[in-house]
Amino acid sequence: MKATTKLRELLGGDGIVAAPGAYDCLTARIIEREGFPAVYMTGAGTSISRIGYPDLGLATASEMLANAGAIAASVGVPVIADADTGYGDVLNVQRTVRQYEQAGVAAMHLEDQAFPKRCGHLDDKQVVPADDMVRKIRAAVEARTDDDFVIIARTDALAVTGWDDTMRRAEAYVRAGADMLFVEAIRTPEQAEALPGMFGVPLVYNYVETGKSPLLPVDELSRMGYKLVIYPVSALLTVTRVVTDVVRALRIEGSTAHLVDDHMVSLVECFEVAGLTHMLATDARFAGAEA
């Protein structure tokens, strides 16, 4: 089954789809290995891990696409990918859609921030006129060659122009053909409760530790009616702390031996995340075959 079709089936089923955020192939493999049905490619994580910059719109389309393609190729579950603002106007958006499809991504989200965009949980964002975003969504829908490829419209207007404008934008984006809605930086449980069911399409909830939105449990989000919850920076924030602690210990104590048992997997365990046993078995099978 195609990844796009698999994701459509997941979203059409009961309950909610939880998709932890991966910033590289290792984190994507871990997420799949732990039994999650989908992976979310985080734009913030891509920016920090691949080019060493904060999420301020500095990652280019080609850099985001390369990471999305690598992650999609490394796992068997659907990948939902951040596509920022589409990297330009309608022609750029159409190219982005085609390239994300070709890379094996199952869904992508476009946002209505003005360029240069920034992380949705930072202050001082700006949004483009709603009509500009409507044109981008229409262009994205027209560009896809796989009808199961999911187009998610994200609006950052809540923190910029307020609730009423956010509602108007959401309705306009659905009319333009968006398959799902993503209202960024929801501020209260009451706002979160009010949104599902209002627009006739499934909603995404963005669970960002230390961000603007309430950290609602997945069961509660499912009860409210959300169909997808993403955890874009859970792994990223944790790895930043853990690696900092490890290299600090190495600098101060001159050794990491005391961390091995409680803080590290073995080298073989690490390789197993990427399929060591299966790949060695394949190599051995071909080594024993006749030329």
Catalytic-residue membership of 109: yes
Q: Are 64 and 109 in contact (CB under 8 A)?
A: no
Helix axes 25-33, 234-253, angle to 10 degrees: 110
C-alpha–C-alpha distance, residues 87 and 62, integer Å: 10
Which member of 24, 32, 82, 112 is catalytic?
Answer: 82
Catalytic-residue membership of 119: yes
Which member of 23, 154, 173, 179 is catalytic?
Answer: 154
Distant-in-sequence contacts of 125-128, Cβ < 8 A, 24+ apart: 125/156, 125/159, 125/160, 126/160, 127/155, 127/156, 127/157, 127/160, 127/161
Which member of 24, 32, 55, 148 is catalytic?
Answer: 55
Catalytic-residue membership of 156: no
Which member of 8, 24, 112, 119 is catalytic?
Answer: 119
Catalytic-residue membership of 40: yes
Which member of 24, 148, 179, 184 is catalytic?
Answer: 184
C-alpha–C-alpha distance, residues 162 and 47, integer Å: 28
Residue with tokens 């603002």: 85
Which member of 29, 206, 226, 231 is catalytic?
Answer: 206
Residue 221, classed as helix, strand or coil, is: helix
C-alpha–C-alpha distance, residues 40 and 20, integer Å: 6
Catalytic-residue membership of 251: no
Which member of 111, 112, 148, 156 is catalytic?
Answer: 111
Which member of 8, 29, 109, 121 is catalytic?
Answer: 109
Catalytic-residue membership of 121: no
Catalytic-residue membership of 206: yes
Active centre residues (catalytic): 40, 55, 82, 84, 109, 111, 119, 154, 184, 206
